Amino acid sequence: MSAEAADPGAPLRRRSRPRIDLRRLGRVALRGPVSRDRLPDAISHVAEAHRAHHPDADLTILRRAYVLAESSHRGQMRKSGEPYITHPLAVTLILAELGAETTTLTASLLHDTVEDTEVTLDQVKEQFGDEVCYLVDGVTKLEKVDYGAAAEPETFRKMLVATGNDVRVMSIKLADRLHNMRTLGVMRPEKQARIAKVTRDVLIPLAERLGVQALKTELEDLVFAILHPEEYEETRALIAAATGPDDPLETIADHVTHTLRDAGISAEVLIRPRHFVSVNRVRRKRGELRGTDFGRLLVLVGEDADCYAVLGELHTCFTPVISEFKDFIAAPKFNLYQSLHTAVVGPEGAVAEVLIRTHRMHKVAEAGVVALGNPYAQDPAADPQTEPSDERADPTRPGWLSRLLDWQESATDPDTFWTTLRDDLAQDREITVFRTDGGTLGLPAGASCVDAAYAQYGDLAHTAIGARVNGRLATLSTVLSDGDTVQLLLAQDTASGPSPDWLDHARTPAARIAITGWFSDHPDEAKPDPETVEATGPGAQSEPSPEREAPVAPARSRSGPRAPGVVVEGPNAPVRLAGCCTPVPPDELAGFVVRGGAVTVHRRECPAVAAMQEIGRAPVAARWADGEGREADAGCRVTLVAESFGRPRLLADLTEAIATADAAIVSATVEPPSEQRVRHTYTLRLPDAAGLPGLMRAMRDVAGVYDVSRAQHPAPTG
């Protein structure tokens, strides 16, 4: 099977096995069993393809599997009019040409027997063993009679769980879907579209993650033809028009071949046509297509070191396009893919993209996990006395698969699982971040510290208060990059919970499901806080910027500080002190009724007061309870801003001055230095508001500090 253009009429520039006549095979299959000393003619093509990859394979089990499949499916017909046995034969041939080992081929021949015939799993297990039985069970659909509308998502859930133990389950499913897509034309248009959308949203991303590019590219083209027929026909016409004797890639390929030969490098240079979807992507990106945009050069060599030797010769003898260089050999993709990517300018000024890889890399690039054979087989070189491990190593670097298996356990509702699965699979790039204890976390690109917290700690991450990224304090909203080192900081109070804002920063389903579940169990905490609503309108800062601020204290309360020492006119409503200006006695006050009927009290000079009055919000009269500027209860909260020149031990001296005044630091942020000036923001709790002037004087007396003021947050604008 070729990974090139799915159109049978498209010209191919490499040798390929001719397409098999499945109708003829179907007629052969109906002839019944043959003598025991040879394989049935109907699977001779499978045997030939299998022996090309595995010369010493024992084909006896394939013969027995074919006989069972043919006899059990006898009399069944596909909607295309072909005998049903042609379908398992075609699926098996696809896998055989990719290099699948004998157990996988045996299971693929039997993959529909339990679902569509009287054959049972016990019979499969008795005749072919546990592994074949497991693979057949993994791809067997759940009955709609039992599951109704949930049958499809629950079937995929079952299949993914089985894939977690054996990736060959998904290999069979992908080949099964490919053959079904090839013969989808006999279905009603609406059913074609439904199947194509599921293929696009679920199966193609899974093929990408398992590295099976040969299946992925053909599935993409088949989906493209069904869902976007007009664009498909336009792309087909462009490819047909570009086919001719004057192919600029041929010229560049000849120059590359001679260059490598002169350098003494043994290499095979091929022209690799782009498939339809790839051509369409390039067209959207560049507009008008160049002659070299319809394919790429593929250079195959023997050893890894030869790849870099080829790269050196190409960059020496041709003008390289540096921005196009990527090294996926030193840093393989998460789906096993390895190759060097570059682009060079040919003799006539044409730019050609070049892929450089070994023959082994090419096999894995095309077939992914299928090319690994049986990844769970006992290593012949291993010590026979060693006890086998109960854990099966996932050859795909198990980050994405492990995450998927973890969160699906929490997504008990089929609709939630189905929606979340599609969202998760849409994230097609993975990063690796390092923990300070030496472990690693595999996360999707764009993941934040929130995602890292739940990936490392599970539900304990509800108490997260911040992080250190590459040694520097960072907020939980900070987006992580590949190779970052992250240390999550947890609050000592295990009763604290996540902030609603975290849902805005969570990229992984596990984090989103855990956060949503916590708020479902704590419905009162999920309500927006009136103080937050008041203080975080457009233009206000509701969350510290990832680049500028970092929490260094216990988690903030989601309900604003109560103000029993404040009296407001009107009904007996809850009263909160505004977080944007943190009023303390003897500040003059102004209150506003906010969502939920509570009253948020601001300092009268706070910009929020003017902003509220501009939009027609009437202030509520408010005063301190004792009438003399003293709070009735002990303690008050205030936010101070210290402006200073940068110097060593400045932060230590400031926090010492605060501690000397018996003030507790609720939270603190330090902005990066700008022109040797540093801005510190502290939210403090004082035992008595009368101590505020003395605290501000003590902070101003710290060497390097040239101003300390009460915080004035930007006013809301709407």
Helix (H) or strand (E) run with residue 182 in it: helix 168-182
For residues 484 and 440, is the Cβ–Cβ distance under 8 A? no
Backbone φ and ψ for 346, nearest 5 degrees, come out as: -80, 180
- Number of neighbours of residue 472 by Cβ within 10 angstroms: 10
Residue partners of 173: CB distance under 8 A and separation at least 6: 139, 159, 203
* C-alpha to C-alpha distance for 273 and 390, rounded to whole angstroms: 44
* Residue 115 a catalytic site member: yes
Residue partners of 401: CB distance under 8 A and separation at least 6: 163, 164, 209, 394
For residues 210 and 425, is the Cβ–Cβ distance under 8 A? no
For residues 226 and 196, is the Cβ–Cβ distance under 8 A? yes
* DSSP code for 494: T
* Residue 415 a catalytic site member: no
For residues 465 and 530, is the Cβ–Cβ distance under 8 A? no
Q: Is the peptide bond before 586 cis (omega within 30 degrees of 0)?
A: yes
- Each as own residue / partner, the long-range contacts of residues 435-439 (CB below 8 Å, 24 or more positions apart, any chain) are 435/485, 435/486, 435/487, 436/468, 436/485, 436/486, 436/487
Active-site residue identified among 21, 41, 115, 707: 115
For residues 312-321, b (16+ Cβ closer than 10 Å) or e, as one string?
ebbeebbebe
* DSSP code for 111: T
DSSP 49-100: HHHHH-TT---HHHHHHHHHHHHHHTT-B-TTSSBTTHHHHHHHHHHHHHT-
* C-alpha to C-alpha distance for 36 and 59, rounded to whole angstroms: 12
One-letter amino acid at 605 equals E
Q: Which of 60, 62, 88, 63 is nearest to 74 (CA)?
A: 88
Active-site residue identified among 116, 423, 501, 525: 116
Catalytic residues: 115-116
